[in-house]
Structure 1
Amino acid sequence: KRAAELRDELLFKQPESTHLGDCAICMIPLPIDLDYSTIMSCCSKIICDGCSLANTMRLMEASLGQVCPFCRKPAPTEEESAKYTMKRVAANDPVAMCQKGAKFYVEGDHSSAFEYFTKAAKLGDVETHNHLSVLYHDGHGVDRNEKKEMYHLEEAAIGGHPRARYNLALIEGRRYGRYDRATKHYIIAAGQGHDGSLKWLVENHKRGLIKKEVLDAALRAHQAAVDATKSPQREEAKEF
């Protein structure tokens, strides 16, 4: 019982940041929408679009070839990118392992995807815990297992993954009827800037299930999280 209580204390603690952390260049929190950042295959660093655009413009003005904004290696071809990834996999880079696993998953090789995701998760990669929860839910590359699905979702949520926490909330409410736990997850995810979680809170406030003060606090936390990811360079990149 005490172990379960300690687990919940860890699970329902508001993470200091999302699993993505900060851009490796500007050190501003990365947006949770992955469309606005890039994982560099050469160094496994995540660079926001604002810094990527600034780097591109600077190099163009100097008539220089494109290089990675972080490690300064020349922009790789598709073949070189694959080699970089495997080199980093060999060096036990969990981000590269996650990328390799994701590639196998898209190609339909779920067993290999499971192998790479499992290795990356053991090395502490949060994203792969989320991927593993999907594999255990769908029974792809591994037998379906609801207990392990929940475990990996919880590990991802503890690591700051807002989408995983949102999915965890859905399961807690719809599958198990544990609405108090689900609501806590929605509140935490909304505080990380997750739009779907905030929408759930708004809709359930209209139904009289969420108190106004709870919703107001969630709205403020959500806006603060979104504002923290903004910068002039990122806004320029969106316009560009």
Structure 2
Amino acid sequence: MSAAADEADEICASCGIPACDDITLKLCTACKSVRYCGIECQRKHRSQHKRACKKRAAELRDEILFRQPEGTHFGDCPICFIPISTGTDEDGNMNTAAHYPCCSKMICKGCIYESALQNTEEKCPFCRTPFPEGADTESMLKKREAANDPHAIRGVAGRFLKEGNFIECFKYMNQAAKGGHIDAHYQLAHMYVNGEGVEQDMKKAFYHWEEAAIGGHHIARFGLGLMEGNLGRHESQVKHLIIAANQGWGAAVEQLKMCYEEGHVSKDEFAAALRAYQRAIDATKSPQREAAKRNPEFLNVKRGNNS
């Protein structure tokens, strides 16, 4: 960085006063490129700074949005430490792992299968808590909710969603999203699109789709790619699809193939995405998971909940 730039960083963008012992300059929270000595100076400078601020803020947002996540929002299984697969069943429900309310852990089906083989008692594969029955299950979930467990709160929202109580669903889904639950952001996006439990707002819907994608939600990422393609913004479309493919989402590969055929992605980019997709798939494999696929009868419905 040049000396001039360093000097600019150390003075108020409005009045020019330098930082010193009794004056602390604060960054513009939107663009993070200029500093102010106080709120009054920031207000005075607003008309001059507005356009550049908006442009830089959008650039910063894109930098975050198009950064490749380390994995998906499912993360790694806490027992085998292997990434949880993005696989789903015919209805689109996750079928490669299950959530346990006792410890709020997402356990892969391979570890559930291995636990079922080794233990006759039905206990959580992670914390070894015996599976609750009926009211005990509800009590356990309420304890997790009271502890502000985002996954438990998301579960409450899901129950209200199934009941068609969109107002309560939105309330809990919003709380879960604020607590960092990535899928809650994804669900909120749909609620804003459809006006379910909240006034329809496409701007907020896109915000939550983007937050979900940033957090590793491969389906949200894929959806953003489709939307960008429909709007004719193919550069952004391809970026989203490549990220989703890198996360092991097969539908993104199919869309990238179409983009390649239409000339929106190069041969080298498509080939690299295919290799990254295969690496992501291979990274989720284990002998236990393959055995679980061959022996689904061991995966009793009481062994956690698909999530």
TM bin (shorter chain): over 0.9
Map of 1:24 onto structure 2: 78
CA deviation map 1:10-55 (0-9, x unaligned): 1001111111110011111001122010000111100000000111
CA deviation map 1:48-76 (0-9, x unaligned): 0000011111113xxxx210011111112
- Identify the range of structure 1 (80-89 vs 44-53) with the bigger mean alpha-carbon deviation: 80-89
Matching of residues 66-215 of structure 1 within 5 Å: 66-174=122-230, 176-215=231-270
SS in 1 for 2:119: helix
Report the TM-score when normalising by structure 1.
0.95
RMSD: 1.1
Query: Percent identical across equivalent pairs?
Result: 47
Which protein is richer in helix relative to its size? 1
Larger radius of gyration: 2
Map of 2:286 onto structure 1: 231
Residues 208 and 178 of structure 1: CA distance in aligned 2, closer, same or farther (over 3 Å):
closer
Q: CA deviation at 1:102?
A: 1.1
CA distance in 1, matches of 2:143, 2:70: 32
Matching of residues 28-47 of structure 1 within 5 Å: 28-33=82-87, 34-47=94-107
Matching of residues 213-224 of structure 1 within 5 Å: 213-224=268-279
From 49, 53, 57, the equivalent of 2:113 is 53
Q: CA deviation at 1:214?
A: 0.8
CA deviation map 1:61-99 (0-9, x unaligned): xxxx21001111111224322221111010000011111
CA distance in 1, matches of 2:68, 2:259: 21
SS in 2 for 1:35: coil
CA distance in 1, matches of 2:226, 2:118: 45
Report the TM-score when normalising by structure 2.
0.75
Q: CA deviation at 1:118?
A: 0.5
Q: CA deviation at 1:172?
A: 2.0
* Cα contact 2:234–2:264 (8 A) shared by 1: no
Structure 1 stretches of at least 4 aligned residues deviating more than 4 Å after TM superposition: none
CA deviation map 1:116-173 (0-9, x unaligned): 1111111111111011011011111111111000000100111011001111112222
SS in 2 for 1:32: coil
- Which amino acid in the other structure matches residue 231 of structure 1? S
CA distance in 2, matches of 1:2, 1:80: 52
Q: CA deviation at 1:107?
A: 1.3
Q: How many residue pairs are counted as aligned between the two chains? A: 235
SS in 2 for 1:38: strand
Q: CA deviation at 1:204?
A: 2.3
CA deviation map 1:168-207 (0-9, x unaligned): 1122222x33221111101110110011111001122223
- Which amino acid in the other structure matches residue 128 of structure 1? A
Q: CA deviation at 1:4?
A: 0.8
CA distance in 2, matches of 1:168, 1:82: 36
- Which amino acid in the other structure matches residue 141 of structure 1? G
Map of 2:65 onto structure 1: 11
